[in-house]
Chain A
Amino acid sequence: MTKTPDKPARMEERLYQNRYMVDEGRPHVKIHHQAEDSPQLKTLTRICPAGCYSTDENGRVQVAADGCMECGTCRIVCQATGEIEWSYPRGGYGILFKFG
């Protein structure tokens, strides 16, 4: 796999094309941190297609779900660890596909 530079900037540009109705203050994805982040949780910083997961200054995984496309990958990958609480946004909120 070849390396591509500067993922976050490019991701913003990509997601900028999408339409969202963000439900301010009511994130639909939450992390319940355990003593240590599981390998499954850590891998989300790479495989989340919207780049919602990142590592904070303490080395812990954090999530900002504003750009979430509601695919459910993180929910399934972390189902066994119990670190992720995932629900659909309230009706009408979240990603709104133009072309799908």
Chain B
Amino acid sequence: MSEHFDAIVVGAGPSGNAASYTMAKAGLSVLQIDRGEYPGSKNVQGAILYADALEKIIPDFRDDAPLERHVVEQRIWVLDDRAHTGSHYRSDDFNEERPNRYTILRAQFDKWFSKKVREAGALVITETTVTGLVRNEAGAVIGIQTDREGGPIFAKVVVLAEGVNGLVAQRAGLRPELKTNHVALAVKETHFLTEEKVRERFNLNGEEDGVVIEVLGSVTSGMVGTGFLYTNKESISIGVGCLVSDYAETGMAPYELLDRFKRHPSVAPLLRGSEMKEYVAHLIPEGGYNAIPKLTGDGWVIVGDAGQFVNAVHREGSNLAMTTGRMAAEAIIALRKADVPITEAALKLYRDALADSFVMKDMKKYRHLPGTLERNRDALFGAYPKALSSALQTLFRVDGVAKRDKEREMLGIVKKSRGSWWAVATDMFKLARAWR
């Protein structure tokens, strides 16, 4: 294969597929390489699909994409060992013609997306691992090496959509090694039930609407992280993710954390009688804005998780992946049409597009949050969730104690959880400042 492509895309996840599709659709010659048996077979996500990012690439995706349920209800739970404090937002407005969020099963969704990429004209090669980059004398990237026979393959630009644990850019010195506090390790199981059971247990109307639950508190056993539980058509995705640095420090086993989550009295009834059909683990980039590597160079560009594009607070990642993939593609299309070399300077087009979009604005907004969460881990992921539950139990238990005394006791619980009101106020201030 001595062919010369406009672009080679490494990886067939949301960012790589978005980039490949966009470029192929515009008439560029695109080679996309994935190491999986089929595109999607190496990919893991919770997973929630955000329609807006995909609509900007494939407007009529709803016609044939494998979607599970559209989200009509978002729950946020704060757990202690025996209780959950929850807030639910459910609106019939989410039952709309073009729903905003969907649950998906990534392996199936990615297969569909990849079919679209091929239909758009890209050449997609699977079961092939990219082992390195090829550079010219000036240091510009001009192609790739793979573990297949046949020598290097050349292109005007290499799009690195290789995911959080991608090794190509790292081993070529284009991005630094991941830090243990910049990535979370998430484990997840997919539990199958009948469609009817999913509907009943989550108070749903049919097989189209769904509930997602994000979970804080004892689910992470004091580590920085969250749990989640998403409803699919006939299954439930349940998982928990915590910073790798916290796992390394505590030596906790991720699957034990997940088992404990599944046994929680608020969760166990939702899973009862289900059949677990897959157990997965994956890293999630959570270092935020400050962990974003250099994104462009002569002949290369980084998109998606490889660029740390995850908004951990809002649990958004696949939409940032698709958007960064699309924007890189649009920049490359413009440069190819103008017949300009795809240099770092020229790729300012991509960097500017990112800066003008919600992607960088959101990443920037929360740039202090990862550090704040880590430094205040014990309070935010340990003391407060416990205090919240204990204070509310005091409130709701009717036991002959006067309400004024109850209120005093509740305030005492909150104060005691952090030692003093000053400490509580400081925590709140720090959190508000990091959020701003």
Contact residues of A with B, CB < 8 Å? 1-2, 4, 7, 10-11, 14-15, 17-18, 21, 40, 43, 46-47, 49-51, 69-73, 75-77, 79, 87-92, 94-100
CB within 8 Å of A: which B382-430 residues: none
Among candidates B42, B177, B190, B256, residue contacting A76 with C-beta atoms closer than 8 Å: B177
A49-B254, A91-B35, A92-B35 known; A73 vs B44 contact (CB < 8 Å): no
Q: Is the CB of B108 within 8 A of A99?
A: yes
Tell me whether B139 is interfacial, beta carbon within 8 Å.
Answer: no
Kindly state the separation between the CA atoms of A49 and B129 in the bound complex, as whole angstroms: 23
Q: Is the CB of B44 within 8 A of A18?
A: no
- Of all chain A residues, which has the CB nearest B167? A88
- Which residues on the A side are within 8 Å of B244 (C-beta)? 73, 76-77
Tell me whether B315 is interfacial, beta carbon within 8 Å.
Answer: no
A91-B146, A98-B107, A100-B44 known; A47 vs B254 contact (CB < 8 Å): yes
Kindly state the separation between the CA atoms of A93 and B110 in the bound complex, as whole angstroms: 18
Kindly state the separation between the CA atoms of A75 and B35 in the bound complex, as whole angstroms: 19
- Which residues on the B side are within 8 Å of A92 (C-beta)? 35-37, 126-128
A sample of 5 inter-chain contacts (CB < 8 A) reads: A15-B279, A17-B279, A47-B251, A76-B177, A100-B43
- Which residues on the B side are within 8 Å of A2 (C-beta)? 260
Kindly state the separation between the CA atoms of A89 and B35 in the bound complex, as whole angstroms: 8
Which one of B51-59, B179-187, B202-210, B345-353 is at the A interface? B179-187
Kindly state the separation between the CA atoms of A69 and B128 in the bound complex, as whole angstroms: 18
Q: Is the CB of A90 within 8 A of B185?
A: no
- Which residues on the B side are within 8 Å of A94 (C-beta)? 35, 42
Interface code B229-242, partner A: CB below 8 Å = 1, 0 otherwise?
A: 00000010100000
Q: Is the CB of A100 within 8 A of B146?
A: no
Tell me whether B97 is interfacial, beta carbon within 8 Å.
Answer: no
List 7 extra interface pairs beyond A40-B248, A99-B108, CB under 8 A.
Answer: A49-B254, A71-B185, A71-B282, A88-B129, A92-B35, A92-B37, A97-B43
Among candidates A15, A73, A91, residue contacting B148 with C-beta atoms closer than 8 Å: A91
A15, A92, A95, A100, most chain B CB atoms within 10 A: A100
Q: Is the CB of A76 within 8 A of B253?
A: no
Residues of B within 8 A of A (CB-CB), count? 57
CB distance from A29 to the nearest CB of B (A): 13
- Which residues on the B side are within 8 Å of A40 (C-beta)? 248
Tell me whether B7 is interfacial, beta carbon within 8 Å.
Answer: no
Q: Is the CB of A99 within 8 A of B106?
A: yes
Tell me whether B313 is interfacial, beta carbon within 8 Å.
Answer: no
A91-B127, A91-B147, A100-B110 known; A11 vs B281 contact (CB < 8 Å): no
Tell me whether B165 is interfacial, beta carbon within 8 Å.
Answer: yes
Kindly state the separation between the CA atoms of A89 and B41 in the bound complex, as whole angstroms: 13
Q: Is the CB of A4 within 8 A of B278?
A: no
A10, A18, A49, most chain B CB atoms within 10 A: A49
Q: Is the CB of B283 within 8 A of A18?
A: no
Kindly state the separation between the CA atoms of A88 and B42 in the bound complex, as whole angstroms: 11
A69-B282, A71-B281, A91-B147 known; A96 vs B41 contact (CB < 8 Å): yes
